[in-house]
Structure 1
Amino acid sequence: MRKKTGAAMAVAAFFILLCGCGVKSGNTGIPEKIQQTYEQLPGFTAQVKILSDLEQSTLEYGGEFEYNREDNDIFTLKTPDALAGIVLVASGESPANLTVQYDDTVFDTAQPARAGLTPADVLPLLMDTIRTGAPLETWEETVGGVKMVVARYETEDDQGRIMRQIWFTRESLWPSYAELYADDQRVMQVFFSEVQQIEGSNNNEAE
C-alpha cells in the first residue's frame, strides 16, 4: 500500500531549484486577493500528487481532487496501485470538525496524530487555510518561466507550530505546489496539475 519514490523527489528538488531564480518581494493587496478569490470560488478539480516525507523513505499518493466550497471535498486515489479507486470524502473544514470517510467507514487520520499533516486530511485543511487564513508573508517568484505568488501561513496546535507555504500561479491564483512543515521539519509536499474550474467559477483553467 506504500512505496518509496526517487523520481518524485527529483521533481520536487527541481521545482525548489527553479524557485531560487525568483526575487522575493512583498505584495501589497495579494493576501486579500487570495482570500477573496477562494471565498468566491465555487470549486475546482485537479490532479494531485502528495509526498509524505518520513525519516527512512517518502510515500507517494496521487489522484484527482475535487474542491467544493459549500460541499464535501473528494479525493479519488489512483496511486499507489493497491489504493487505486478508493474515494476519500472530507466533510467539515477545521481540524476540530473534519471527518474523512473511506467508503462507509471513517478513515483513520491519526497516523501520525497531527491534523492536516496526513495524506487523508492534508487537502481539505490546506484549502481551508487558503480560504480563511491570513498569510504572514507573500512574495513573487518565477518558476520555469511561470510567474508565481507564494504565501506562507502558520498555525499552532497542541503539538506545536505548523507552517504551510503555497505557490499560486500569478494570473489565476490556482494552487501549484505546497510544502508543509511541523516545527521547521518538512513533512509533506503537494503538487497540483490540470487545475480546472467547476462550472460557475470565474477563474480560468490553469496553464
Structure 2
Amino acid sequence: MERMNVWTSTFLESIEVVKEHLSGEYLFLLTDDKGELLAMDNSEEMKDLVEGTPIKVGLVFSRENCGVNAISEAMEHRGPVYLKPEEHESPFFQNWHCYAMPMMAGGTLLGYLDVSTVDEELKSELIAIAKLISMHMRSIPDIENEMNKPVLTDRQINVLRLISEGQTVKSIAHKLKIKESTVNHHKKVIFEKLGAQSSTEAVSIAARRAYF
C-alpha cells in the first residue's frame, strides 16, 4: 500500500507540472500492473465528459472488464499502444484517442500510464505528453528506490524499531506479547529482506530508507 501511495502521489505531482504547459482536452490515468485504476486527472474541459463515464478509481481496464482499450492492449502486448476511437469496444470510449504505455522501475512493471483526448487535432501530442509525464515521474528524487524498497509488515517494522532502541529479544517479546522464538524469526526475515547481516546494519538500512 505504501508503494502505491508513493506511486500515485508522484503521478499526480507530475500531472500538475505537465498541465501547466498544456491546453485542450486531456484525461490522464494511472493503473497498477493488473490494470486497476489507482489515480486519474483531467483538464477542466474534460470534466463533464469524464463524469458521464464509468471511469472511477478501482475500475479494472482489462479486456474482460472494459473491452478492448489502450491499457488492455498495452498489457497484452507489453508495450506502448495508440488506439483510435473506432478501435475501442466500449461505447464510452469510442470518441477517444488513447495512448497507453507500461511504467517500469528497476526492471519491475509498476503499472500503466494512459493519456487520452477526444480532440482529433490533439491526438498527435499524446505520445509526447505521456513520455513527458513518465520522464517527470522518474526525475523525482528517490522514486525508483522507494518503489523498489522491500516491503516489511507492521509487525516487522515494530520489531525493527524496538531493535533500534536497543531492546533485547526478551524485552521485545515481552512488549509485543509474543514468544522469543517469534522475535528471532522476525529478525531473520527482516535481515533477509533488507540484505543485512546484523541488527546494526538492519537498523542503518531502515533509517536510510525511512521505514520509521
Q: TM-score, length-normalised on structure 1?
A: 0.31
Larger radius of gyration: 2
Q: TM-score, length-normalised on structure 2?
A: 0.30
Identify the structure with the greater helix proportion: 2
Identify the structure with the greater strand proportion: 1
